[in-house]
Structure 1
Amino acid sequence: MKRRFALSKRMIFCLISAAMLLAPLFEGQSMAANESKYPASASASSYDTRCACDASKAVDGSLSTRWSGEGDGTWLKLDLGSAQSVSLVKIAFYNGDSRTFTFDIQTSTDGSNWLQARNAVTSAQNNQLQSFPIPVAEARYVRIVGYGNTSNDWNSYTEVEIWGGPTDGGSGNLDPAKPPSGNFDLTKWKITLPDASEIPASALAGGYEHPDWFYTDPVTGGMVFTSPNIGETTTNSTYTRSELREMLNPSTNSASSWANNWVTSSSSPSIKSQAGGVDGTMKATLRVDRVSVSGNEADKIGRVVVGQIHGPSTEPIRLYYHKRPSDSRGAVYFGTDDLDNNNTWVNMLGGPNQLNPVNGIALGQTWSYEIKVTGLLMTVKITPEGGSATTVTHTLPSGYNDKYLYFKAGVYNQNKSDTTPDQSDHVKATFFSLTHVHP
């Protein structure tokens, strides 16, 4: 008996409706930053010969081609070439913005004996790659068994990717129903918002959200920061921000107190004994969802800072993502100040004068950064999802010894003009993990 028609129409409607509500909880669960995509070949039980929609079209890297197979139980099988640790399947669906698909995910080591990894999964309603986590399994083969969609009996996938690898703690499973503090440890952060107000660590850790500037993404559970081009700014800045500021001892009211900040291990013993930490590492996994697209200064359009180390009056690092409207990919680079506030640009994936790099990061693409300071040696690592890491080291001036330092993360909009008709230009980023440690 065909699986689809074994149920009444009312039961099918109820199941699909429930699945559509639950799908976002699975679709956006984030993965560890060092998981990677496995190369794979594909075969299928059947395909639509009219459009030459064979299995290879599901693994050709293009969302403009597709594999299509008709009927309940029609399958697409991916071969990884050898057994791998598999934890995530990504699928993009043909016409997925107007219908949902139902399918099973199965794994196998030999291509004959199959284990059910996910049963009766229903897609969300969009055309992009959607993520479907599975229990970690050693598998050479992954099979998608389709049961059609809400419009017809066809199973049509534009791309399928298999991901996995060792995990490093990452962000775990994020709950879209919780405030940011329900998914992230925000007990030692405060936040500055685009109206220049500050929310202290106690309120932030207690579940604070702002519907426009700081909230949980309803699909992925990520922590969302947005900041308009035009807004209120803090002292000594002309740019708006929705940005966390590290507070290592938030019970101490003064942000400039030694207890709320950290120092380099090359600082004097007396200063180190007063500080809230010595040396530090901040790691984040994020995606930049939007950058500014208008303004009066061309070099500032599309530019945003997503991570910083700040000192009393200068910044050892400002980590930039920079994508102009005409660029297909954004550059990632950093600026670093000396104690006289003289800036030096350091290229990573492109630079301020090397925009739209071929190895850049697209809007909506997940990537990670790590900023580590040991003594005066600062190491910065950038890792695009599925790509290799780029690491740069930079020696800080000795003047940073005995100066208090603190991490910042979020969006610090670097465009202070807006030429859109409704003055709505803004930046937005979603964080899937954020940690800060001071060994």
Structure 2
Amino acid sequence: MNFTQVLLLLSLTVLFSSCFNSSKKSTNNEVDNAVYPSDVIPFMDEWKILLGDGTYNNKLVNYQKDGFFFVQNEGETNWVVYKTPNLGVTSRTSKNTRTELGQIKRWKPLEGGKLTGTLKVMHVSSSGDARVASSYSVVVGQIHSDEGHENEPLKIFYKKFPGHSKGSVFWNYEINTAGDNAKRWDYSTPAWGYDNTVVGYSADEYPDEPVDGIALGEEFSYEVNVYKGVMYLTFASEGHETVTFTKNLVKSDFATKIAIPEQIKKRYPASRSDGIERENAYAGELQFFKQGAYNQTRSKCSEDSLGMNSKTESVADDIERQYANGCYAEVWFKEASVGAGTPPADKN
């Protein structure tokens, strides 16, 4: 090999090395420039998550998973997206799938806690049975008990029937049943639109659209403030009246049969509608917050959607089919916080 050939070989080596390093540097920049949910809402170190495919993770800083938990940019705003199918892998205590945060810290009602969120629901299942109260709905915030019956003193719902432009936001209180938990029931209260007792006349016949409802893609916010055993709820949305509610979590409103609301007697069968709550409700029980998308619809979208019963499809393949057919819930949050309960405005 003469001198000219050696010089040419060295030049090519330097060139290839430079290209490789440039390519490697570009790849690293792409990784460095990634935006994670924890960049948008920085409280992620206080949560764990269960995704709609059964994935569990308790380290959420710089974590995302495409199709379930990721960031979506919209103009100047980044949103944290929670997406989950109708059918999938879920927790031991529920048949409903979720892509939902679960608070790591536990607290008792007298100790209190606060959860806030500013969000918009982008999709609820396009299929369901209009006679079933949970169809076409998603839970976007919860308080969950970690002891006793493990019931839920709060679930915040968004629900929209097919063909309607507006949906309802309501919240449910589940009694902490005295005795056999088979007699538990939920009392539902509307923020905007209907409560969960308004259902269809048949599987595909829907009630009238709520006049004061919230549309898909319309922003609203909630604040859940538990202070000295009392839960203070605030719901706000531009163009809608701000509404507030108060519920005692340590002294029951439903401890006698005469106190059972008419709503419950009409909605539940006699075998459940006579259940009563223990007098001190959730006092002394450990609680924790949840936030995200807890899909309440379990139905398939169409006859050709084989669902999780198919042995020929993987979980991932089945979920992709559900997403394509509209069998999913999707919720976007742009702001949220979690912390200690604070005195309500009238206590300051």
TM-score by length of structure 2 reads: 0.65
User: Going by fraction, where is helix more abundant, 1 or 2?
Assistant: 2
After superposition, give the CA deviation of every residue in 1:161-180 in whole Å (9 maximum; x if it has no partner). xxxxxxxxxxxxxxx95100
Are residue 293 (structure 1) and residue 126 (structure 2) matched?
A: yes
Verify the 8 A CA contact 1:177 1:218 in the aligned structure 2.
no
Are residue 402 (structure 1) and residue 260 (structure 2) matched?
A: no
Partner of 1:214: 69
Q: Which amino acid aligns with 1:246?
A: Q
Partner of 1:247: 104
Distance in 1 separating the partners of 2:197 and 2:48: 34
SS state of the match for residue 60, structure 2? helix
SS state of the match for residue 263, structure 1? coil
Verify the 8 A CA contact 2:233 2:246 in the aligned structure 1.
yes
Q: Which has the higher contact order (CA 8 A, sep 6+)?
A: 2
Distance in 1 separating the partners of 2:137 and 2:34: 31
Once the two structures are TM-superposed, the CA of residue 379 in structure 1 deviates from its matched residue by: 1.7
Verify the 8 A CA contact 2:46 2:104 in the aligned structure 1.
yes
Q: Which amino acid aligns with 2:122?
A: D
After superposition, give the CA deviation of every residue in 1:133-156 in whole Å (9 maximum; x if it has no partner). xxxxxxxxxxxxxxxxxxxxxxxx
Once the two structures are TM-superposed, the CA of residue 339 in structure 1 deviates from its matched residue by: 1.4
Q: Which amino acid aligns with 1:317?
A: L
Partner of 1:262: 107
Are residue 383 (structure 1) and residue 226 (structure 2) matched?
A: no
Once the two structures are TM-superposed, the CA of residue 342 in structure 1 deviates from its matched residue by: 2.5
After superposition, give the CA deviation of every residue in 1:278-331 in whole Å (9 maximum; x if it has no partner). 201111000000011113564333111000000021000010101011222111
| Structure 1 portions without partners, runs of 5+ | 1-175, 249-260, 266-277
SS state of the match for residue 181, structure 1? helix
SS state of the match for residue 284, structure 1? strand
Distance 1:352 1:215, change over 3 A: same
Distance 1:334 1:407, change over 3 A: same
Distance 1:408 1:391, change over 3 A: same
Verify the 8 A CA contact 2:109 2:230 in the aligned structure 1.
no
Partner of 2:227: 374
Once the two structures are TM-superposed, the CA of residue 335 in structure 1 deviates from its matched residue by: 1.1
**In structure 1, which of residues 307, 317, 341 is the aligned counterpart of residue 141 of structure 2?**
307
Q: Which amino acid aligns with 1:351?
A: D
User: Going by fraction, where is strand more abundant, 1 or 2?
Assistant: 1
Partner of 2:168: 331
- Map residues 90-239 of structure 1 onto 2, 5 A cutoff: 177-185=34-42, 186-200=44-58, 203-205=59-61, 207-219=62-74, 220-239=77-96
- Map residues 43-62 of structure 1 onto 2, 5 A cutoff: none
Partner of 2:294: 412
Distance in 2 separating the partners of 1:311 and 1:290: 28
State the identity %.
Answer: 31
Distance in 1 separating the partners of 2:281 and 2:241: 34
Verify the 8 A CA contact 1:288 1:428 in the aligned structure 2.
yes
Distance in 2 separating the partners of 1:361 and 1:343: 22
Once the two structures are TM-superposed, the CA of residue 358 in structure 1 deviates from its matched residue by: 1.3
Q: Which amino acid aligns with 2:340?
A: H
Verify the 8 A CA contact 1:292 1:427 in the aligned structure 2.
yes
| Structure 2 portions without partners, runs of 5+ | 1-32, 178-183, 199-206, 253-279, 305-320, 342-348
Partner of 1:352: 196
Partner of 2:322: 423
TM-score by length of structure 1 reads: 0.52
Verify the 8 A CA contact 2:188 2:197 in the aligned structure 1.
no
Verify the 8 A CA contact 1:296 1:419 in the aligned structure 2.
no
Once the two structures are TM-superposed, the CA of residue 195 in structure 1 deviates from its matched residue by: 2.0
Verify the 8 A CA contact 1:296 1:418 in the aligned structure 2.
no
Distance in 1 separating the partners of 2:294 and 2:124: 11
Distance in 2 separating the partners of 1:357 and 1:293: 18
Verify the 8 A CA contact 2:212 2:240 in the aligned structure 1.
no
SS state of the match for residue 215, structure 2? coil
Distance in 1 separating the partners of 2:162 and 2:107: 38
Once the two structures are TM-superposed, the CA of residue 377 in structure 1 deviates from its matched residue by: 1.8
